[in-house]
Amino acid sequence: MWQLNQWSTLIVLTTMLGLHGCVSVNLGGQRQQSAPPFQHLPPSGPFALLYEKPNSQAWKSKDSQSTISYLVDCQVHGDPSLESLREGVFSELRDIKIQSAVKSQFNQRESLRTMASGSVDGVDLTIDLVLLKKHHCLFVLTLASEPRFFGAEQVRFQSFIEAFVVP
């Protein structure tokens, strides 16, 4: 089964790290299978590495405190729909409102890109989420930003997405 709680925790943690500066947590869970080779470039502009772990990285904007992150989950699992995976990712957010959800081809597979708003720890957020299943793994790309910074950060996130390659 997909570790949905791990993804929602990742969004919440990177957001809280970006907005508040520190959070300590153990994501735990089952042992990961090796992720397939993939390529990415760090976000441009004022983004600096926030943390790096096997199969995940996050960057925080020095200007807006927004976060851009990816997580690759290759645990043994079934084949849930992208929509049900999205619901799991958003499960820790409050007052979530999906503004758009579009399926498209990304890295030669169907993906789901969702724009949503909600709150974490009383802070309003806008989230751009991309979910991709490939090579028996789930790839989660996320931008979490306060609404006032979202437009500018979304341009950087789009470049991040375009440079994220899973052969």
Place of tokens 């849930």: 80
Q: How many structural domains does the chain have?
A: 1
Residue 36: which CATH number?
A: 3.40.1000.10
In a domain, 104, yes or no: yes
In a domain, 167, yes or no: no
Range of the domain at 122: 4-21+30-162
DSSP-H helix ranges across 44-119: 82-89
In a domain, 112, yes or no: yes
Neighbours of 5 (CB within 10 A): 15
Neighbours of 85 (CB within 10 A): 21
Q: What is the pLDDT of residues 42-52, one digit of tens each?
A: 998 899 999 99
How sure is the predictor about 143, in pLDDT bands with cuts at 50, 70 and 90? very high
